[in-house]
């Protein structure tokens, strides 16, 4: 029974790491588009600064994946700061786009805080987070004879 419980903690931390990496990649792609061809994305805050934040998110996601507890704390702080930034901007500009970004950052912050206890258990049991990615699983499957 404890093996199944450890697997759940490993999956929870692995999913949070994958989510952080995905959001970092998405931020980098949107920033590159804003810098090269989309003025609308540039007006929404994407550019060099978000390119840096996206790269930082990817690094933190891999840090979480390799069981670095301080990377999880730093990621929580990053998303809480982003949530506060979007909250202030929602009060000033009142746009649906900012409300959506605020909701996303708050949800990610909540998921990261939920993963704190699981990370502690993984560290004490010397277990690494689950590195499986359900989107890559069909590509990585080997044929069995």
Judge whether residue 142 has pLDDT over 60. Answer: no
Of 14-28, 59-73, 78-92, 125-139, give the lowest mean pLDDT range: 125-139
CA distance 98 to 35: 20
Asked if 46 and 53 touch (Cβ cutoff 8 Å), the reply is no
**Could you tell me the residue ranges of all domains in the chain?**
2-127
CA distance 14 to 32: 27
> What separation in angstroms does the CA of 20 have from each of 15, 16, 41, 53, 142?
9, 6, 21, 11, 28
pTM: 0.82
């Amino acid at each position: 029974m404890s093996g199944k419980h450890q697997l759940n903690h490993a999956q929870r931390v692995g999913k949070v790491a994958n989510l952080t990496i995905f959001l970092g990649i998405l931020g980098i792609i949107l920033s590159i588009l804003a810098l090269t061809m989309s003025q609308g994305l540039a007006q929404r805050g994407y550019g060099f600064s978000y390119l840096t934040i996206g790269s930082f998110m990817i690094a933190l996601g891999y840090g979480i994946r390799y069981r670095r507890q301080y990377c999880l704390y730093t990621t929580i702080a990053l998303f809480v700061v982003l949530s506060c930034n979007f909250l202030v901007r929602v009060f000033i500009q009142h746009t649906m786009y900012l409300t959506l970004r605020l909701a996303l950052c708050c949800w990610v912050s909540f998921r990261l805080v939920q993963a704190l206890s699981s990370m502690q258990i993984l560290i004490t049991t010397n277990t690494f987070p689950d590195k499986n990615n359900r989107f890559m699983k069909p590509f990585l499957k080997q044929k069995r004879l």
